[in-house]
Amino acid sequence: MEKLWGGRFRKKINQTMKSFISSISFDKKLVRYDISGSIAHAKMLGKCRIIKEEESNLIIRGLEAILKKIEDGTLVVDDQSEDIHTWVENTLKEKIGGVAGKLHTARSRNDQVVLAERMYLKEEIRGIEKNIVDLQVVLLADARDYLGLIMPGYTHLQHAQPLLFSHHLLAYFFMFNRDRDRLTDLFKRVNVLPLGSAALAGTSYPIDREYVAKELHFRNISQNSLDAVSDRDFIIEFLSVAATVIMHLSRLSEELILWSSREFDFIELDDSFCTGSSIMPQKKNPDAAELIRGKSGRIYGHLINLLTMMKALPLAYNHDMQEDKEPLFDSVEVLKNSLVIMAGMLRTLQVKPESMRKNLEGDFSNATELADYLVRKGLSFREAHQVVGKIVLYCIDQKKYLEHLDLKELKKFQNLFEEDILALLSPEAVVNSKKSYGGTSLDRVKEAMIEAEEILNHWKIENVDAYKYPNSLH
The tens digit of pLDDT for each residue in 395-414 reads: 999 999 998 999 999 999 99
At residue 17, the pLDDT reads: 67
Which residue would you say has higher pLDDT here, 124 or 23?
124
Cβ atoms of 306 and 235 within 8 Å: the answer is: yes
pLDDT over 90 (residue 147): yes
Judge if 343 and 263 occupy the same domain.
yes
At residue 465, the pLDDT reads: 54
At residue 461, the pLDDT reads: 81
Judge if 318 and 374 occupy the same domain.
no
Total domains in the fold of the chain: 3
Range with the poorest average pLDDT among 81-90, 234-243, 248-257, 380-389: 81-90
Range with the poorest average pLDDT among 16-20, 23-27, 227-231, 423-427: 16-20
Mean residue pLDDT across the chain: 93
At residue 472, the pLDDT reads: 38
In the chain, the amino acid numbered 278 is S
CA 453 to chain CA centroid, Å, is 20
Cβ atoms of 154 and 473 within 8 Å: the answer is: no
18-62 pLDDT tens trace: 777 777 888 899 999 999 999 999 999 999 999 999 999 999 999
Judge if 235 and 355 occupy the same domain.
yes
Q: What is the DSSP string of 88-146?
A: HHHHHHHHH-GGGGGGGTT--HHHHHHHHHHHHHHHHHHHHHHHHHHHHHHHHHHHHHT
pLDDT over 70 (residue 141): yes
At residue 471, the pLDDT reads: 40
Is residue 351 in some structural domain? Answer: yes
Indicate which residue of 19, 277, 380, 404 is catalytic. 277
Judge if 198 and 262 occupy the same domain.
yes
At residue 467, the pLDDT reads: 45
pLDDT over 60 (residue 366): yes
Distance between CA 189 and CA 212 in Å, rounded?
A: 18
Is residue 204 part of the annotated active site? The answer reads no
Q: pLDDT category, 468, cuts 50, 70, 90?
A: very low
At residue 276, the pLDDT reads: 92
Is residue 248 part of the annotated active site? The answer reads no
Is residue 438 in some structural domain? Answer: no
Structural domain of 400 = 367-425
Which residue would you say has higher pLDDT here, 4 or 187?
187
At residue 294, the pLDDT reads: 97
At residue 25, the pLDDT reads: 84
For residue 74, count CB atoms less than 10 angstroms from its CB and return exposed for 0-12, middle for 13-18, buried for 19 or more. Answer: exposed
Largest CA distance in the chain: 101
Judge if 85 and 127 occupy the same domain.
no
DSSP-assigned beta bridge partners for residue 154: 159
55-99 pLDDT tens trace: 999 999 999 999 999 999 999 998 888 899 999 999 999 999 999
Q: Examine the fold and report which residue of 316, 339, 359 is the final residue of a domain before the chain moves on.
A: 359
Q: What is the CATH number of the domain that holds 389?
A: 1.10.40.30
Indicate which residue of 156, 204, 272, 278 is catalytic. 156
Judge if 125 and 191 occupy the same domain.
yes
Judge if 350 and 246 occupy the same domain.
yes
pLDDT over 60 (residue 176): yes
Q: How many residues does the chain have?
A: 474
Alpha helices by DSSP H, 260-310: 287-310
Q: What pTM does this model have?
A: 0.92
301-319 mean pLDDT: 96
Judge if 54 and 129 occupy the same domain.
no
DSSP SS3 for 268: strand
Judge if 99 and 117 occupy the same domain.
no
Cis amide bond preceding 466, omega within 30: no
175-195 mean pLDDT: 98
Q: pLDDT category, 9, cuts 50, 70, 90?
A: low
Range with the poorest average pLDDT among 69-73, 79-83, 141-145, 181-185: 79-83
Phi and psi, residue 194, nearest 5°? -95, -20
Cis amide bond preceding 143, omega within 30: no
Is residue 273 in some structural domain? Answer: yes
Q: What is the CATH number of the domain that holds 258?
A: 1.20.200.10
In the chain, the amino acid numbered 229 is V
**Residue of 176, 169, 215 lying closest to 193 (CA atoms):** 215
Judge if 101 and 121 occupy the same domain.
no
Judge if 191 and 301 occupy the same domain.
yes
For residue 397, count CB atoms less than 10 angstroms from its CB and return exposed for 0-12, middle for 13-18, buried for 19 or more. Answer: exposed
Angle at 331 between CA 336 and CA 69, to 5 degrees: 75
At residue 22, the pLDDT reads: 73
